[in-house]
Amino acid sequence: MALSFQLSAAERNWLIQTARRSIESALAGLVVAEKEPDWQALLTDSDTSALQRHLGSFVTLNCHGQLRGCIGSIIGREPLWRNVWRMARAAALEDPRFSPLSLAEWSHTELHISVLDELTLCPDPSEICVGRHGLALEYAGRSGVFLPQVPVEQGWDRLAYLDHLCLKAGLPRGTWQQAGARLYWYEALVFAA
């Protein structure tokens, strides 16, 4: 399993700036249209930019070392650049766990972007590598997802990771082993401003 896409340093920087513009315009109360990238300036070699691919993304905001917002989509239904624009705004203003980010907090906020590769069914849970694989679980109409960096941040081993995924989905520990449970894995490219 390896990432099916690449993002150059220029493309990663452009996504960071896009997320920043999205949040700053929202905090200022401005309606600003997403700006289509200048593809020629961003393309490396003859590759087609992953910015145009329909990839999922999460934008995570941390203020003073504490989570302040994290919103994303695990499945890309629009070009990556547009998805990052929307997820950044949503992470700042719409995460139901937090009040909307204030302009005063913004100057102390770190921004991280996770670009997700396509989800595939995990063939064998014993092959899950903590820190490398993100996971998603579906069972009985419930679902939960964790980015690859979460179990590392929490100090979980593979089994704790799987059990916490069940809990996040509102299911009992060990549900990932039940018949009918669908466990997906993916890799992600994570970068910060």
Encode pLDDT of 59-109 as tens digits.
999 999 999 999 999 999 999 999 999 999 999 999 999 999 999 999 999
Residue 159 is assigned to a structural domain of this protein: yes
H-helix or E-strand containing 24? helix 9-27
Check if the beta carbon of residue 193 is closer than 8 Å to that of residue 111: yes
> Residue holding tokens 């980015």?
147
Looking at the fold, whether 42 and 74 belong to one and the same domain comes out as: yes
**Which range of residues forms the domain containing residue 94?**
9-117
> Cα–Cα distances in Å, from 7 out to 49, 87, 94, 101, 128?
7, 18, 27, 28, 24
Count of domains in the chain? 2
The reported pTM is 0.88
Looking at the fold, whether 100 and 36 belong to one and the same domain comes out as: yes
Straight-line distance from the first to the last Cα atom of the chain, in angstroms, rounded to the nearest whole number: 27
